[in-house]
Amino acid sequence: MSERRTIQLGGRTVGAWGDPFIIAEIGVNHDGSVARARELVHAAKAAGADAAKFQMFDAEMLMSLDSVLAAYQRERGARDPRSLLRGLQLPPDELGALAGECIAAGIVPMVTVFSLPLFAHAAGQPWSAFKTASPDLVNRPLLRAAADLGRPLVVSTGAATREEVAQGAAWLDDVAELAFLQCTSSYPAPDDRAAIGGMHEIAAITGRAVGYSDHTACTDTGAVAVAAGACILEKHLTYDRGAAGPDHSASLDPAQFAEYVRLARRAARMVGAPRKELQDLERDVRAVSRQSLVAARDLAAGSVLARGDLCVKRPGTGLSPSLLEETVGRTLARGVAADRVLVAEDLA
């Protein structure tokens, strides 16, 4: 993944190697409260996130009468999918105001729109970027509606096949600012099903910037994803992991989220650039620990060097051992005492 496309998010080029762009997914963890949502915006900023993301949906618009709950939602006490979402939705105008709250707080506002009619509201609001949810990777009308807003677009790929990723990428081929996120659609996702390595195939399929939408319960998963090549991270943020609601238990509280950010940014510093190079801080150890050609005995000026006249020892400040064969047979321009390093000036 050394050759990666980039995306502009919040005025920053993301995808070049360096700090990941970290999205605090507030989602529905505001419990339908605007005041709580504002608190989470500021918690995201304080924790070091780059963006805060919301979800724009209408329960009746999104859920047909045939809709069912996911297993993890049933396990957390939900009984009816429409009722569950109805209690968690915020009106579009209030979400637009939250986008403004993000801007005032100095954090990038992002939103996921779940139904086509709602794009008319989102289009007039100050969202810096849009994100589509994993189930909508195969929803071509919705993908195009998000893309046609002309702002950066991040696409999640949880529960998708490689063929569906390729299909979605083809539908969005004309989008300039586009990224894809690997994701395991399980809440929470166990460590051995995190599937972070799927980013590599997504990058190969799409040719776009890639990242990881993290549904594990851990604070170090983002760091692992960054080490594997993620340039974008998305993680749920809550005020209390024990709160009632579908996503709280698979989220991180503000202190945990701050640790998540710290570890991810540390990983980015440790990974560095995708090239092998001699660093300045290595030069001293390189010089003292590499080896050189050394005189095996006192050697007089004018001597023609034989193999037995030379040995290899530290430090690496003289002729490299790689030059041994071509140094044999050369004539010394000056004498070299036993156990001394040979340098280029010693040779005629």
- Return the residue matching tokens 């989602």: 27
| 209 falls within a domain | yes
pLDDT of 73 reads 64
Residue 47 shares a structural domain with residue 152:
yes
| CA–CA distance, 41 with 50 (Å, rounded to integer) | 11
pTM, two decimals, is 0.91
- Return the residue matching tokens 């570890």: 263
Under DSSP, is residue 171 helix (H, G, I), strand (E, B) or coil? helix
Looking at 230, 249, 271, which one is the last position of a domain? Answer: 271
Encode the chain (348 residues) as per-residue pLDDT tens digits: 445 689 999 999 999 778 999 999 999 999 999 999 999 999 999 999 999 999 999 999 999 988 887 776 666 665 787 888 999 999 999 999 999 999 999 999 999 999 999 999 999 999 999 999 999 999 999 999 999 999 999 999 999 999 999 999 999 999 999 999 999 999 999 999 999 999 999 999 999 999 999 999 999 999 999 999 999 999 999 999 999 989 999 999 999 999 999 999 999 999 998 899 999 999 999 999 999 999 999 999 999 999 999 999 999 999 999 999 999 999 999 999 999 999 999 999
| 73 falls within a domain | yes
| CA–CA distance, 171 with 143 (Å, rounded to integer) | 8
Residue 194 shares a structural domain with residue 93:
yes
| 1 falls within a domain | no
Residue 263 shares a structural domain with residue 291:
no
Q: Who contacts 27 (Cβ-Cβ below 8 Å, separation ≥6)?
A: 53, 54, 55, 236, 247
Residue 203 shares a structural domain with residue 321:
no
For 54, the enclosing helix (H) or strand (E) is: strand 51-56
Residue 51 shares a structural domain with residue 79:
yes
Looking at 271, 288, 321, which one is the last position of a domain? Answer: 271
Pairing of strands 310-313, 292-295: antiparallel
Domain that holds residue 334: 280-346
> How many CB atoms are located within 10 Å of the residue 257 CB?
25
| 331 falls within a domain | yes
Q: Are 85 and 62 in contact (CB under 8 A)?
A: yes
Number of domains in the chain: 2
For 199, the enclosing helix (H) or strand (E) is: helix 198-206
Residue 308 shares a structural domain with residue 336:
yes
